Structures are given as C-alpha cells and as structure tokens.
Structure 1
C-alpha cells in the first residue's frame, strides 16, 4: 500500500470539498456553524479518516483559538494525511502485544474494552469473523487493514448519504416557506376580492330595490306581489371566487374537475356548482394537509442525520479506543459504528424471524340456548359471550429495522406474596421519532413450561395529555415465539415503559416442596464451597442481573440485585468491601467474581445457607432450585429518527401510583375498555362488560357507572382450552360505584390447539 500524503492529491478538488462537507455535516446542521473546541475538531477530523495526535491538534488549536470555520477545517484536511500503510502497521504492532504477527481475540478484546462501552468476547469474535478470510480465529496484517479501510469507506458513503438528506430537507423547508408565503398572499388578495364583491352585491341589491319601487308605483300593485331577487347567484359567484382565489392548488383542482366532468357539469344548477366547489375545496384542503404532514415526517427522518455516523449506526465506542492507546494517525472511529451494525446484522441483538401459530379470538353469539344457565330472579335471561376464531400471528416489524438505532435491556417479573414486581424503565427521547418496541420472555435453565409467559409493554407519558390520558400505546400483537411488539410515533420527551403479564401462566406457587437442594459442601481440606447445581443457578442469576448484557455487573446493576434480595441499596462502604474482596474488571463485577462473592458468603457463615436461600427465593427459585416465581424477559427499543434515546432501569418494584392518583390497573382497564367490545349486562342499566382480545389473550372488564355497588357472577367454565389468571373460572365480584374492574384474563392452555372463550354474567 503506497503512502498518501493528502486526500486532495488523489482526488478531484470538488470531490475533496464534498467529502469534507459530508464529514462536517455529520456533526453540525450547517457549514456556517463553527467548531468551538479542540475535542470537536478531533471528532470532525476523525470523520474524514484522520486521527491526529495531540501535538498535531495543538498546532491548529492554540491557546488563542476560539473557533474554526468550515474553510479552516478544509485547509486542515488538505494539510493532514489520512490513514497510511505506515500508520496501519504501527497500529497493528501496538495491538499485537506478543509480537507473533497476528492479532488474537484476547488482544483485540483487551484494546476494545480499555475505554468506553464494554464489548463481550463473543461480539469481538463476530468482528474478527467478518474479515477473517482463512478462518483461523485471528487477524493478520492484511485482514486488519481490510477491517479498518473497508469500514472507513463505508462510513464515508453513509456521511455522503446523510449530507444529501440534510440538503433535501433544507430544500423542502424553503419550498414549504414559499408555499406558505404564496398562500398568505393569496388569502390577502382573496379578502380584497371578497370586500369588492360584497360592495358590488350591495350596490346591485340597492339598484334592484329602486327598480322594484318604480315598477310597483307604475303598476299600482303591492310590492310583495313581485318575487324578490334570489341571493343565490351572488352567493354562488362569491363563494366560487373565494374558492378560486384562496389557493392556486384549489383552482387547478377545480379546473381538472370541470375538464373531466365535461358537459355534465354544464347541466348542473348553480346550487350544484356551489356544492361541488365546496366539496372540492374541502377535499383539496385535506390533501394539502396530508401532504404537509408527509413533509414534516420527512423532516423528522432527516433530523437525526445531524448526529455523527457512529451514533447513527448505534455505536458508542469500539475501535475508536485504539488510537488513544497507540497514538497513531489511524482513524478507526467510523469502523466502530459499522462493526456494531455488522454485529446486529449477523444476529447479535437482531430480531428473529417471526413464526406462525393459531389461536381463537373472535366474538360470535351462542348457538345453543339450552346450554345457558337458568336466569337469576333479577335477570330474565343470561347472555353468553363466546370468542372463537383461528388466526396466524406474525409481527409486522419495519422492513428497514436494521438501520434504526437499537437500545436493549433485560429484566424480570417476580411474584411476591401474590403481587407482581418487575423491572421498570424511564425512556428519554430527545427527538420526535417512530419507535418499535418488542418484549419476550427468556427461558430459564430450569423451570417454566413449554408455552411462553405473555410479556407485554405499556408506554406511558410522564404527564397527562390534553384529554387526561397517560397511556400512549401497548403491545397487542405477537409471533409464535411469544414476542410481543408495537410501533408508534412519539414526540420528544420522557416516557415510562412498564412491562406487564396477565398472570395466566405466571402465578404464585401453591405449595413448597419439603425437599431442599444442597447449596454448600466441604472439600477435603474442610473448606466450604458451593455445589455444582448452586453454581449453575448463580451463573443464571448473574446473566439475568447483567441488564445491559455486556458480560459484567456494574455497580448500578449490582445495586438493583441487592435491593431485590435484601431490600437495601449498596452503600459506599459496602461497595468498597466488594472491591477489596474480589477482582473487578474496569470497576465491574465479572461472573467469576460474582461466584466468588457467594463462596465467600458460604465460607464466612461456616456453611449456614439461610442467607443464600434468601437470595434464591428473592430471585424466584424454589427449594429444588427451579425458577417458578420469576420470569426473565428481553426488552428491545428501536428508534428510527433519534440516535441518542436513553432506556434506563429505574426500579424493581410493584407499580407506582401515577398522576391523578391512577393505579396501573386503572390505566390498563381504560385501555381495554377503549379497544374492547361493549355489551350491557342485563338487569343493570349502567353496568357494562367489555371484551378485549389481542393475539395472545382475552380480557373481561366490568365498568360500573351506577351509584351503587353491584355483585356480578361470571361463569367462564364452558370455555375450551383456556387458563386464566384466577384459580377458578367461576367467581362472584363486587364492583364499586363509578369504578372499573378487570374480571378475567384468559389465554390458551395449549398454544397448539384451538381455544374458545365463553362467558355468562348474572346479577346477584
């Protein structure tokens, strides 16, 4: 590879300027903006394939420098070379720690996890596999150069695409302003014409009255005998004129309508012409409004392009850490984002292809009246509701999802004294964006039946909207693997993401086994060690508690784990003990360190397992080390138009109370009512039952609008192949006045068989 002293010497000057502009616009909204810090200068140069040393940076950013313009940036790019073969060789030798002529998985992993976002070995291995031509699991010099240079070129292509979109957005904005200016001018002219027309109409009416008086005087007949002039003509002309003058678009639409109509239009009365004109105007106004929304949408899609390509491709730090370590001129920043993107495309975090399954969820009336129970004294005849339809399920995920920014987190549901506790999230969205959220259960190493637990997501605003609503959207559709998904448009702001499960498959255990698994044993030297079975469970607990999935447990993740198992946060002195007793990696607990902590606890307690069992029970395990009171899940959030959205785990707790003293049950009840089918309960004027159905379950909600408490008996025992969130399919409920109540959740007991919901309600 020959050395290139400058990009400008190997390409046309016009192309060189375009490349600089594309890199500049990947950071700024306009080339008129200034570079205001040395760090910004470094980042901008890195976008062009340059990675200057501190000495070079100080050459252009002196103590007297306050800002640099785009022209200054272009001059610097002319003077400073891009990556050369010598630079790559220096980088290669720095990473090749043992000097064997190859970069191993361990060597690359050490460099990539030295700063910034941590990468697991599996992720680094995927990066190596991308360019490892001879499949020996390591990189030679040629493969290393291919990894760096190819990803850098791809990044430049992405920057060019970003620049084109940004310029297109600017052009659209100019066109929109021109249209608004034209429309405003047309409105002014229309108003002037309207005033002139009204003045002419008034003069015509005065002339008609004078003429009428003259005729009446000559003939001697009463004025009332002569028909008054119809105002329809003048109103028609005025209205048509207004419709014609308000907007050139409306005029062209009317002309096209008249051309198509031909002779048929000429046969219409003036009333018909007026009506047609008004309809055309309304239709065109609607089309214009829709067009503006589409343009606004395009603007949103382009707005995210003001960020760097690394953020666009969902990367925080990967190979950009290497130059800091080796001090070379190699620019590996752009490679970072593309490597992260390749990871997603090769399966790391990419959504699986949805499968298909069948279920029955459609409302139909009961065909056999003899099957109905006898009516109660207050109800002449019970009403049986039945749901049954066969349907295959497949999530309609966006086709270009791999281009969206992906944020993910793990979490778990826990059952505690019959109440549901789970991880809950804050979601901060800096820019308006279309989002796609999926959630699915993760199978534990032991426990959980073959049918997946339903794991849905509710998206709430941090404050009520104009109508007092907190709920934005929730997942209703799923695939055959148990993954639920929802797509919606969100405005910039703060939101709450609340996981939810109906409790049909996830319930409190009925009883506890008396047989207890062995957690601790003694080795030959008399030292207390944890058993193999307990070790396997602890490894699973570590994986579920590693919420970001980076292979380590941060202090925050360990703190959430500690709150769950002990009810207390980790104090500074307690974290100091952790740091003193086990080896950490970059300040985070490794899986080996987590196992070591539990072994130390077993040793300190001299084999007493009470505290160890407290941990296991809190994490949902029974005495036989089977997870039956917890359900781990995976939450994935994709944003199309926002590259720096933040998904933050804030608590592991029961659901809080929301603004307006609304409980979470109140919010989901209202959502089921809004999306469900209504039917009045006979015998009660103000009592309704709503049946809500989605791809996974059916919910029955009672809404009592009366001023008295009502006792209702629900009988779902004739349903086929269903399980519910209650032990019995027959129950009597008391519904307080002015309240709603979720009576039942129902879902198929066997996912592979048809299922049917039948419910009869009786007033007691």
Structure 2
C-alpha cells in the first residue's frame, strides 16, 4: 500500500489536476502512454491479462491498486467506491476500476505541498530523519531507522541529511516510477511464463505420444525423512513429484500451568484486547489483534494469563476463537504460550510462567481465527439507523465497540484508545486538528470520552449532510458487526500480567492496525524449526510442530536453489480434518524460513500430505 496515502488523502470531489505534474507522472514511467492506459496495465498486472474475467476480490487489493496509480482518496472515499462497484460481492472488474480512476483526480503538487507541511512537524522547511521515519510508519507498516536512513540517502541530493520540498517530490515520483516498473516487469514475466508454458505443453504432448504404453511409476512417500526417487539405479534428490506425510497423528497431552502459590503478593496489570477479522478479506483469514509492550525495570518472574472475555459483558458478540500469545525481544521469540492456565487442563484460559530480565518485550496475541466470520443468518438486514437516527440495536453495537476500545476498562476512552477507533474506521491518525474538532463536538471529561459522548459523536455525524447511513454501517462493519447487528467478526479477550519482583512495570497497548505481522511470523517460524520435526520435499525443507493447542508449519528453500518461490500443495482429504485446510491448500515456500500455516485441528491427531505443485 502507498505509504503516503494517509498524509495527502482527499475526498474524491476535491482537487484540480495540474498538467505539469501529470506530465512528470507519465514521464516517470519511462514508456509514456496515457493515464487510462497506465491504469488498465496496472489492473491487468494485478488480476491477469484476461481483464474480462479478472476482478479485484478484496478491498485491500482495490485500495492498493488505486493508490498505485498515483491517486490518494481518503479511506472513507475508497470504501464508498468499493461498496458501489462491489454491490454483488463479486469484486471490482476492469471497467469499474477505470471508472474510479476517471472520477478520482491524480494527486497534484498542491496536495503534495500540503502533505509536506503536514509531516514537517517543526515547520523548518525540511524533513529530518525522525520526521521521515514517522511519515513512512504512518501507513501502518513499520520501518526501522536504518531502512529509513538508506531510503532518505537515495533522495537527499545535496547530502545534508534531510529532504527539502523538491527532494520530497522526487521521492513521491520515484514511488510512482517503481510502481510502473513493477507493473511492466510483471507483464514481461507473464509473457515469458506463457511462452514457457506453451513450450512445456508441446514437449509433454510429444512425451506422452512416445510413452503411451508405459505404466505410471508410484509416487515415493516418506514420513519425517527425505523422499527420493530411483534414477538409473541410483538415489537422486526429490523431484517435483515427491510427497511427504506431515504429522504424527497424535496430539501432545496438555499440562496446565498452575498459578504461583503467593500470586496475591505479586504486582498485577490487567488489560483487554480483541482479535478482528478484516471485513474485506475474511476469505483470506486476515486477523488483526491488539498487541502490547511489556516494560520491565528489573529482573522478575512473570505469570501471564489470557482468557476469553465473558460473553455477558458484550451484548452483541456472538463469536468463538482460539487464543494464543508469544513474548518477543528484539524480534526474537522468548516464550510461546501453549498451555492451559489454572488447576484444570480443560480451562478456557492459557498461561505462561517465565523468568525475564529488565527491558522491553513485545507481547503479541495471535490466533487462527477460523470461526470468525461476517455472514448474517437472516435474509433481511437489521436496521442500525432509521431516518438518520440510531436504533436501539445500533446503539447496542456501538456500546460493544466502545468496550472493545476501552482497553483498561475504566469506562472512558482516552486519546490513545480513541486513536484505535479512528484508525480502524478510517485508517487515519487522530491528529491534533481532529482531536480539537472532537473537543468542540462532544463533551470530554479529563480529556476522555464516556459512552454517552461516544454515541453522541455518531449521532452528530449522521446529522451532517455529507455523512450517510451507509457510512455508519461501514464503521460497524469495521469492528466485525454483520448485517444481523451481531459481532461475529471480532473476539474480545482479557490479558493479565503478574510480576513477583518488578513492582513498577508497564503494559502499554498498541494499535491493532499496526500489528507487527512479520515479527510474529518469523518468530513462530524460528520456534517451529527449533522445536518441531522436519522433512525434505524437493528443494524445500518443511518444519512442523504439534502442540496441545495448535499446529505450526514452516518452510524454507535450499540456499542453492532458484530464487523463485516453490509452490506446494497440502492435501487433507485422506487424513484428520484441520479447521483451516479444506481438502487442499496451496502454500509458497521462499528461501528464508517463514511461517506457512498455523492450524487448529478439529479432531485429536493431525496428518496430511504435502506435494510439490509445478507451475
């Protein structure tokens, strides 16, 4: 997603094109061509060259592609475009995408100047490294200072360690140029793949004709070891037809983590959080989560528990979800919670005991989320609003959203908690300007908003001429509320951290929209590789780990193999059912070790086969 979108986002009705900037934008691609042609190329590159059949299936794909063409409408405008052209829930086709591009102006220099001023926090006419880091991180994707410094150096022409306005313009145009180059490279790669596929098809046809009388050879199988085929009487490395069996068929026995005997004397911090299914990507099981920084001033024993929030605390929540969490330090896993908590192994809570040194730790809850969904059971949607008034059912949904955001459960939302609400509903920062506007709209007590004020805020928005009842529905949907006005796409949990020696530790909640996905994925992959079993499959090594709560599968390619990812096919048809694998599932293995799947078996024991699937 375009990193600058949150900085110079605008409504689709605003902004006037400047031909000079448009000319620079077209010239940045190297091959020229009209804006319409560029937008069409971008679409075909994203969905395949058969534009009559290809569609952008998710909101994220649609949003990223619109921004990739140099347009930067607000998230609210993007969602309105998406809902308008995706009314049948089949995605956005080429003609609809081109219509959006015609309606939405290309970003102008005036808007870029406004964006520059917005991130120039000290108004000195330059972007320092700190301001540059903050700007790049504002889109939700984290970036290190080292990465930002290297990027800044590329556009810092005079070498003064900062960006002036013209260098900033070059940076943005460079982003568009990279997008165009990526699209053109993708088209060339597609063309090459087609030629290779035609050549292989002709070769296979000739081979079939020559060997039609030969009987097929059996596929070799192996369990936890390298599969091989016999070639000319000697053993050879596994080929594209190799297959391995994953899983032992036995689920490890759960051993409950009992609380310390003197737990009442320990210092305690308690917060709430939630898993949230991306309402536009529920088919891909993209689940966001609250996350936390645990800051310890001294060495201490810790006892951490996590459990579902009682259903009676939320009126509309009708969801189930697996729960889990891991502790990280400097991006590396320190501990992964895989045990029930309390005195009974059947407890819904999970717990972890650890001995930690001083410093900052990332506490990252995670889940598979296979039971979270956005489907409604009734044929007719319930009314959240009527004649621009919020119904009782709509207010109940708002009250539960309020409770989700109230992480410390003190009955009010402070600015940090309101930031979470604002980011999830609009993907925008709660800037000082927005915060001051909020103060003028509703009454705050000690710079915090109570439930009555929170509902009143939505009431006032509905009364605005440019705010529709559809916008209100979008806000509810962003928090996992379906058309039955039930919260089936979100799941709330309670997290408790206890420390024996460290009395003044901090537990700070982070924004779910900025969940460090890469840190968790790499950490769990490393954990799986270290603790689990392995098998060789073609040019890949698969690692898997079975625990009492779930199954992890990681993989990596041999260092000497080609750089392109290898495609594997997981087949669960002749084995125990797994909630996240419906008969077959494709996965792609890269050179670096990464987490491929995280599963919750729905029956005791777990096995299925993995096969290389040639392109």
Which TM class, normalised by the smaller chain length? 0.5 to 0.7
In the TM superposition, what is the alpha-carbon distance from 1:382 to its structure 2 partner?
5.0
2:17 is matched with none
Q: Which residue of 2 aligns with 1:400?
A: 262
Alignment of structure 1 residues 342-491 onto 2, 5 Å: 375=220, 378=239, 383=245, 385-389=247-251, 391=253, 394-416=256-278, 417=281, 418=284, 419-442=286-309, 443=311, 444-449=314-319, 452-461=320-329, 463=330, 470-478=332-340, 479-491=345-357
Cα–Cα, structure 1 residues 725 and 448, in superposed 2: closer, same or farther, change >3 Å?
farther
Structure 2 residue aligned with 1:733 = 587
Higher relative contact order (CA 8 A, sep 6+): 2
Partner SS for 1:636: strand
Conserved in 2, the CA contact under 8 Å of 1:724 and 1:744?
no
Q: Distance in 2 between matches of 1:734 and 1:608?
A: 42
* Alpha-carbon distance in structure 1 between the residues aligned to 2:438 and 2:256: 46
Q: CA deviation at 1:654?
A: 4.3
CA contact (8 A) 1:707 1:737 kept: no
Shift of 1:556: 1.9
Distance 2:592 2:390 in 1: 56
**Secondary structure of residue in 2 paired with 1:473:** strand
Q: Which residue of 2 aligns with 1:759?
A: 608
Q: 1:700 aligns with which of 553, 557, 564?
A: 553
* Mapping for residues 299-310 of structure 1, pairs under 5 Å: none
| Paired residue secondary structure (2:248) | strand
Distance 1:608 1:533 in 2: 18
Q: Which has the higher helix share?
A: 1
Q: Between Structure 1 and Structure 2, how many residues are aligned?
A: 364
Q: Distance in 2 between matches of 1:623 and 1:572?
A: 34
1:713 aligns with 2:569: yes
Q: In the alignment, does 2:412 pair up with 1:552?
A: yes
Cα pair 2:242 2:612 within 8 Å, conserved: no
Give the TM-score taking structure 2 as reference length.
Answer: 0.54
Q: Tell me the distance in 2 between the aligned counterparts of 1:448 and 1:641.
A: 39
Distance change >3 Å, CA 734–CA 590, structure 1 → 2: closer
1:583 counterpart SS class: coil
Kept after mapping to 1: 8 A contact 2:572/2:578: no
User: What are the Cα deviations for residues 660-697 of structure 1, in whole angstroms up to 9, with x where unaligned?
Assistant: xx643122111112121x2423x64x643333122211
Query: Cα gap change, 1:455/1:400 in structure 2, threshold over 3 Å: closer, same or farther?
Result: same
Tell me the C-alpha RMSD between the 2 structures. Answer: 3.0
Question: Unaligned regions of 5+ residues in structure 2, if any?
Answer: 1-217, 222-228, 230-238
| Matching of residues 109-508 of structure 1 within 5 Å | 375=220, 378=239, 383=245, 385-389=247-251, 391=253, 394-416=256-278, 417=281, 418=284, 419-442=286-309, 443=311, 444-449=314-319, 452-461=320-329, 463=330, 470-478=332-340, 479-506=345-372
2:509 aligned with 1:639, yes or no? no
Are 1:680 and 2:535 an aligned pair? yes
Relative to structure 1, is the Cα distance of residues 573 and 674 closer, same or farther in structure 2, using a 3 angstrom cutoff? same
CA distance in 2, matches of 1:496, 1:619: 24
- Give the deviation of 1:511 after TM superposition: 8.7
Cα deviation for residue 607 of structure 1 reads 8.6
Give the structure 2 partner of residue 563 of structure 1.
Answer: 423
Distance (whole Å) between structure 2 residues aligned to residue 644 and residue 515 of structure 1: 52
In structure 2, relative to structure 1, the CA distance for the partners of 1:569 and 1:714 (3 Å cut) is closer
CA 674–601 in structure 1, closer or farther in 2 if over 3 Å, else same:
same
| Deviation for aligned residue 1:384 | 5.9
**How far off its partner does 1:380 sit?**
7.8
Q: Distance in 1 between matches of 2:525 and 2:246?
A: 22
CA distance in 1, matches of 2:466, 2:247: 61
Residue of structure 1 in register with 2:31 after alignment: none
CA positional deviation for 1:606 = 9.3
What residue in structure 2 maps to residue 277 of structure 1?
Answer: none
